[in-house]
Structure 1
Amino acid sequence: MQFIDIHGHYAWDVDDGIPSKEDAIKALEIAKENNITTIVATPHVIPGSHTLDEIHELKERIQELKQLAQKQNIKVFEGCELFLNHDCIDSIQEGLFIPIENTHYLLVEFDVRKELGSSHEVEDFLYEIEVKGLTPIIAHVERYFKDGIDIDRIQEFIDSGYVIQVNASSLLGIHGKTVKKNAYDLIDEGLAHVIASDTHRCEGHRIPRLQETFDLLSKKYDYQVLKTLMYDNPEHILHDENVEDIEVKTSFFKKLLKRR
């Protein structure tokens, strides 16, 4: 199967992701080996610390990445990963961000070092983005819950129209047991829309490991569920269309346990 990776720090020397052009070339080669045909380059944007000129420079670097990727027959689209802090609304009003190319989708993140903040703060940020005509894609949701995923809260995000993205590295266990369980719980409950790589390096754990992730998940989930998560919904996003919900088949025995 082919994959579309909507979250990756492939653009080099602009954030904590790929450090050099040489490493970017290697990362693209790995992406090709993993059957990734399309990438959205999503450099970090920290509200309050970027100027319009710097946003323009990010876009120029993504264009350079696009040229490199042509050698691997990989398409590259522009985007960013917007850090949601108290300056984020001003940054959006001033155009200091990069939505996923030619769409109303915007990849956003909170501080993964901390537990997800209060509903008053977090949901207010997301709502303000929505008011601006954008749809938040919440990056690596599983990493914000240090004591286990809050299913009800995630359902509220989805009911509000937000898109839930899970990291392949979380499903592979790179971020620890709790984060791994959170990621699987999201899929099991039908509360994930997209799996992406969140690539930061060309070696080690944070590389484009989507084929490995697909092979692992294929032992547990139906092909169509994984195709929706790793190709169909990313494609919907690039086409500025609504994403599809997934429905994971649950055994009769598990359904009985849930009712108790």
Structure 2
Amino acid sequence: MVDLYTHILPNVEKGPRDVNAFLTMAKSLVDQGVKNVVASPTYNGQDLEKQNIMLYVEAANKHLQHAFIPLTILPGQKVTIHYRLIQAFEQNVHLPINHSTKYMFLQLPNENTDVLNEQILYELQLKGIVPIINEPERHPTFLEDSDLLYEIVKRGAIVQLSSDSIVGKNGRKEKKAALTFIDKGLAHIIASGVCADTYESYTLPKAYDMVSRQFGTQILYKFMENADYIVEGKAIFKEQPERVKKGKFLGIF
């Protein structure tokens, strides 16, 4: 099992505070069937840049090897959309998933600007980057207007849902939104966002189980395979997206 969105790097953001805590967290994930994780610290214009993340990932993997824990950490970054994003990407600041793939995690800013978002997503794709929209079921913009997510998906972006949302930990509205996005072909991968404070209640296996029961094993396998394809830099499986009917959003399940 691959988890594409985690905060596992020791002494980075919400990651473990020391190496021992890091190894405990890593072993817990392995015990639940995880073999690869992507470390995804947030970049908002001031934080960790590409080369620093690579160094943290290299050190963390050495700790795992020395402890004989069969987990591999892959480099990544969650980038909050900002006006200088394209320039920063051209300057080799931003880090796609697993360093050399075409996929990058993006988060809409709290102050949503549709024109900025559309322009950034368009220019990134011109440069060969496929945007992965991070947890839209938790963003008020998409909760208020699901058509915006439909338009983004139609233009080539892919969507990552939080496993916590699917199992209900993030709230009732967020759970219904996540399930609605799956039902309408507006979601493509599930990841945990797990950190030092939450790994003991890790939800990715539970979320996959819920998807299997709600939508069937075929959809489950597509989500799991998509995670593999992303770390390998391959094209993922995408269903034809549908608009959520007005009046039905957040109310179909």
Q: TM-score, normalised by structure 1?
A: 0.82
Aligned partner letter, 2:145 = D
The residue aligned with 1:39 is 37
> What's 1:211 paired with?
205
Aligned residues: 239
1:16-95 matches, within 5 Å, as 16-47=14-45, 49-50=46-47, 54-70=49-65, 71-95=68-92
Residue 3 (structure 2) aligns with: 5
Instruction: Give a deviation string over 1:94-146, Cα, whole Å, max 9, x none.
Output: 111111122111111123xx37x242122122122222221111111111136
Q: Distance in 1 between matches of 2:108 and 2:19?
A: 28
Gap regions ≥5 residues in structure 1: 249-260
**C-alpha deviation, 1:203, in angstroms:** 3.8
Q: Residues of 2 paired with 1:69 and 1:156: CA distance? A: 42
Retained in 1: the 8 A contact 2:142–2:149?
A: no
Question: Counterpart amino acid of 1:92?
Answer: F
TM-score scaled to structure 2, two decimals? 0.84
Does residue 243 of the first structure (1) align with residue 213 of the second (2)? Answer: no
Q: 1:239 to 1:204 in 2, by over 3 A?
A: closer
Q: 1:214 to 1:200 in 2, by over 3 A?
A: same
Q: Is the 8 A contact 1:168 1:195 kept in 2?
A: yes
Q: What amino acid is the match of 1:181? A: K
* Pairing 1:193–2:188 present: yes
CA separation in 2, counterparts of 1:247 and 1:223?
Answer: 18
In 1, Cα distance between the equivalents of 2:95 and 2:191? 18
- Distance, in Å, in 1 between the alignment partners of 2:15 and 2:108 is 17
The question of whether the paired residues in 2 share the 8 Å contact of 1:228 and 1:244 is answered with yes
Q: CA RMSD in A?
A: 2.5
Distance 1:43 1:87 in 2: 18
Q: Is the 8 A contact 1:146 1:178 kept in 2?
A: no
Structure 2 unaligned spans of 5+: 242-253
The C-alpha deviation readout for 1:31-58, integer Å capped at 9, x for no partner, is 11221111111111222x147xx53222
Task: Report what 1:174 is aligned to.
Answer: 169
2:96 is equivalent to residue 99 of structure 1: yes
Cα distance, 1:247 vs. partner? 8.0
Q: Secondary structure at the match of 2:233?
A: coil
8 Å contact from structure 1 (residues 27, 202) kept in 2 = no
